Structure 1
Amino acid sequence: MRNAAIAPKKIFRLTELKKTVETWKFLSKKIVFTNGVFDILHRGHIYSLSQAAQEGDILIVGVNSDASVKRLNKGPERPINDQDSRALLLASMVLVDAVIIFEEDTPFEVITAIMPDVLVKGGDYVVEQVVGHKEVLANGGQVIINPIVEGFSTTGIITKMRG
């Protein structure tokens, strides 16, 4: 039986994450980073996370803090789930190795601190729009855009619930 306390141990502060990433890199692990709000987890999130996990050995997920979600203007009721709940759900997933909540509007500070081998963004972005793409590419890494799973979005779910 798995220890229920494992998930919180996968939620890091930046200083702790940097040290852990150094260890993983020393062990020649390929580090993958992706980020998002992950307000109401749905099929599109699961697809994107599973695709990201296949790109390396370690998957780190950056989660927007509640304050940064408010600044993204996703709507007055967002986030639906608080940052700790969203981080815990992600940390509970087997394919996720580490979760970090970031307060800034973008995960630039996290990305430049851990310098992942692969930077993954789900959605309708192009590489040049992905925060941290220049730094990761300059460091010999790669940037991957996962396609959107049509018909699945948190905004769509909220709209349907209000229906």
Structure 2
Amino acid sequence: EVGKVGVTPVERWEIEQALRETETDVLSKVRSVAELARIRERATATGRTAVFANGCFDILHVGHVVLLQKARSFGDMLIVGLNSDASIRRLKGPERPILRGEERALMLSALSWVDHIVFFDDDTPIDLIERLLPDVLVKGADYANKAVVGREIVEGRGGRVELVPLRPEISTSSIVDRIRQAEEGGELPSR
């Protein structure tokens, strides 16, 4: 359903998005970079704010969900850059990812506040950020003392970087460690 207050024309992208939301294929949110660049151009032309967040999202957990929900609140459209399996192996080691890219994308697609997902094979999303030119770049607050990849690009265009508070007790690595401990000791350790 597409609705607007008053007499306002409905844009083609709004109709397409409404139709996608009714599709049964939850992977319909996965886009190519070229598709997203076109969507982003149309969004800019109509004054919509694009938000970009990225990560591995391997074993989706409450920390990821909170970050993405907050990210969406910063604008009209949330684009999630998702590290490819090869990228995760380079960054995290040969035992990762735990879930394949398609599985991770499927879970992210189920979140209503995620509008679009795009895979990237590089170690950082800098090329995506340069191509999509988001208005808002979101990272976890653990980046407060680190260089946020793409900050210069976004802020150089008048955009902003938002750092979202994290749940430090929850991470994919800590979940994996707890499972391993439970397997070795027979009971699940408390957090």
* Alignment match, 1:77: 95
The reply to whether residue 3 of structure 1 matches residue 20 of structure 2 is no
* Alignment match, 1:138: 156
The reply to whether residue 96 of structure 1 matches residue 114 of structure 2 is yes
The reply to whether residue 150 of structure 1 matches residue 161 of structure 2 is no
Q: In the TM superposition, what are the counterparts of 1:8-157 in structure 2 within 5 Å?
A: 8-72=27-91, 74-126=92-144, 129-157=147-175
SS at match of 2:152: helix
Gaps of 5+ in 2: 1-20, 182-191
Name the % identity: 43
TM value normalised by structure 2: 0.80
How far did residue 40 of structure 1 move? 0.4
Once residues 41 and 111 of structure 1 are traced to their aligned partners in structure 2, the CA distance between those partners, rounded to angstroms, is 23
Given residue 51 of structure 1, which amino acid in structure 2 is its aligned partner? Answer: K
Q: Could you list the structure 1 runs, at least 4 aligned residues long, displaced by more than 2 angstroms after superposition.
A: none
CA gap of 1:69–1:123, structure 2 versus 1, over 3 A, is farther
Asked if structure 2 preserves the Cα contact closer than 8 Å seen for 1:127 and 1:143, the reply is no
How far did residue 156 of structure 1 move? 0.3
CA deviations 1:21-51 (Å, max 9, x no partner) are 1111112111000000000011100110011
CA RMSD in angstroms, aligned pairs only: 1.5
Once residues 136 and 3 of structure 1 are traced to their aligned partners in structure 2, the CA distance between those partners, rounded to angstroms, is 33
SS at match of 2:143: coil
How far did residue 58 of structure 1 move? 0.3
Given residue 124 of structure 1, which amino acid in structure 2 is its aligned partner? Answer: D
Once residues 146 and 119 of structure 1 are traced to their aligned partners in structure 2, the CA distance between those partners, rounded to angstroms, is 11
Gaps of 5+ in 1: none
TM value normalised by structure 1: 0.94
Once residues 3 and 109 of structure 1 are traced to their aligned partners in structure 2, the CA distance between those partners, rounded to angstroms, is 30
SS at match of 2:41: helix
Once residues 137 and 123 of structure 1 are traced to their aligned partners in structure 2, the CA distance between those partners, rounded to angstroms, is 17
Asked if structure 2 preserves the Cα contact closer than 8 Å seen for 1:127 and 1:144, the reply is no
Q: How many residues align?
A: 161
